[in-house]
Amino acid sequence: MTLKREIFQYQAPDEPPNKIQVLDDDGDVVDEDLLPDLTDEEFVELYYYMKLTRAVDQRGVSLQRQGRSGTMASGYGQEANCATAYALADEDWLIPCYREFGSMLTRGLDPKYMFLYWMGKEPGHELPEELNTLTIPTPIATHLPHAAGLGMASQILDMDDRAFLAHFGDGATSEGDFHEALNFAGSFDTPNVFVCDNNQYAISVPIERQTGSATIAQKATAYGFDGVYVDGMDPLAVYTVTKEALRRAKSPDEGESRQSLIEMFLYRLGGHSTSDDPSKYRSEEELERWEQKDPIARLETFLEETDRLDEQSKTDIEERVEAEVDTAVEEAEARHQDPKTMFENVYHEMTPELQRQYEELSALREEYGDDAFSVEWGF
Ligand SMILES: Cc1ncc(C[n+]2csc(CCOP(=O)(O)OP(=O)(O)O)c2C)c(N)n1
């Protein structure tokens, strides 16, 4: 049977909308209107944080390969998340995810916390309170209801001068927690900015198997707020859209939603984690295509072409970053963590099964020394 008139009013777009972009793949400005309003020093500072993030990332992978650290999820290629944190005010809150640790470093977190975290040492979770930054969650999307809850708490406490920005991957959008958080934020009108780092894969599952929507950004409509689709490997575009989303979160104009869903469309240039071999599910050609969009190279070209960065300052930043990473690794390695704590800190009292596991590990350590627990695990 065919109906006499069309009753479906909402139709899925066939094509993704245009991506918001300030820099093209070569680092040339393509949209002057959206160029961030930053000082020369601030532009270079953002670049410094991105370089620091990559250096921490590379060292993290190297330490894991040497058996000096556990599994880590590399953020190689995703360093433009530094730009979301760079747009935050001190009183705002960052609710990060494991791959977006660049945003945490940009918030002022000492890189030693990242190494402690990857080494499985507990202080890696005990972040300085004044950074208004939650610790890294491992379960996918569980931090999103926390972000919405923080937004609601700020309303109850009449703290309407702050926003709550959360990062998550495309895979997270298939979790109930994602829908619950965005639904909650839209219906309670909380000051939230949700940032999906859509790197197009959840481990080996491609984005086509994650959603039938043309974009993640368009999902915002269903929760009653606005979405924006941005080139996630263009740090200047990411900064501009985040700044705007934060303004709306704190004081939306008539007709604007307080919440935003930002989709950073990008690519992870490394593996899912140090346990992953992406060549099993991605082609060499695809990787090479996305390597041309490297966010650090693009910002670097922009800074050089606009006389904000020269060879000397580039070398200075590289040396500074290397020294900071050396110190951070040294401090993290020096921190002793008794493996017993992983059994002790689960429940108030160790259950009989945990007690049994603890005794087994103790016996192995007795026999083999600390090699007994240097095993590789994946997530
Ligand atoms: C609730 C839950 N289910 C499954 C996993 C296993 N897991 C770890 S990372 C990951 C993929 C997540 O993909 P995405 O959200 O796109 O983020 P990305 O890793 O690509 O940054 C999965 C399924 C988990 N950590 N938590």
Per-residue model confidence as pLDDT tens digits over 220-269: 999 999 999 999 999 999 999 999 999 999 999 999 999 999 999 999 99
- Angstrom CA distances, 314 to 44, 248, 295, 319, stand at 10, 35, 16, 9
DSSP assignment of 52-74: HHHHHHHHHHHHHHTTSS-----
Ligand 1 midpoint to CA 169 (Å): 8
Q: Is 296 contained in some domain?
A: yes
Using a 6 Å cutoff on CB, does residue 216 contact ligand 1? no
Nearest-10 Cα torsion for 100, 102, 104, 105? 160
- The beta strands (E) that lie in the chain are given as 93-95, 164-169, 192-198, 201-202, 205-206, 226-231, 260-265
Same domain flag for 72 and 175: yes
Q: Is 242 contained in some domain?
A: yes
pLDDT above 70 (res 71): yes
Q: Is 379 contained in some domain?
A: no
Same domain flag for 111 and 260: yes
Same domain flag for 308 and 358: no
CATH of the domain at 217: 3.40.50.970
Same domain flag for 281 and 369: no
Using a 6 Å cutoff on CB, does residue 140 contact ligand 1? yes
Cβ atoms of 196 and 169 closer than 8 Å: yes
Same domain flag for 355 and 302: no
User: Residue 198: enclosing H or E segment and its boundaries?
Assistant: strand 192-198
Same domain flag for 260 and 351: no
Residue nearest to atom 6 of ligand 1 (CA): 379
Q: Is 259 contained in some domain?
A: yes
Same domain flag for 260 and 347: no
Q: Is 40 contained in some domain?
A: yes
pLDDT above 80 (res 138): yes
Cβ atoms of 108 and 349 closer than 8 Å: no
Q: Is 246 contained in some domain?
A: yes
Q: Is 22 contained in some domain?
A: no
Using a 6 Å cutoff on CB, does residue 171 contact ligand 1? yes
Cβ atoms of 259 and 225 closer than 8 Å: yes
Same domain flag for 350 and 286: no
Ligand 1 atom nearest the C-alpha of 273 is 19
- Nearest of 203, 63, 55, 57 to residue 121 by alpha carbon: 63
Rounded Cα distance, 159 and 148, in Å: 14
Region 87-92: mean pLDDT is: 98
Using a 6 Å cutoff on CB, does residue 96 contact ligand 1? no
Total domains, the chain: 2
User: What pTM, to 2 d.p., does this model score?
Assistant: 0.94
Same domain flag for 353 and 246: no
- Nearest of 66, 99, 281 to residue 197 by alpha carbon: 99
pLDDT above 90 (res 146): yes
Q: Is 356 contained in some domain?
A: yes
Residue nearest to atom 21 of ligand 1 (CA): 169
Rounded Cα distance, 9 and 272, in Å: 39
Region 336-362: mean pLDDT is: 90
- Nearest of 81, 80, 77, 105 to residue 23 by alpha carbon: 80
pLDDT digits (tens, 9 = 90+) for 106-120: 999 999 999 999 999
Give residues with Cβ within 8 angstroms of 151, minimum separation 6: 163, 164, 185, 188, 190, 191, 192
Cβ atoms of 282 and 36 closer than 8 Å: no
Ligand 1 atom nearest the C-alpha of 142 is 1
- Which residues have a catalytic role annotated? 268, 272, 281
Rounded Cα distance, 82 and 75, in Å: 11
Q: How confident is the model at residue 9 (pLDDT cuts 50, 70, 90)?
A: confident
- pLDDT reported for residue 373: 60
- pLDDT reported for residue 337: 85
Using a 6 Å cutoff on CB, does residue 167 contact ligand 1? no
Region 118-132: mean pLDDT is: 94
Region 327-333: mean pLDDT is: 98
Same domain flag for 184 and 83: yes
Same domain flag for 211 and 358: no
Domain span at residue 52 reads 32-334
Q: Which token pair is 122?
A: 């507990």
Which amino acid makes up residue 204?
S
- pLDDT reported for residue 378: 46
Region 18-33: mean pLDDT is: 96
Same domain flag for 329 and 345: no
- pLDDT reported for residue 371: 67
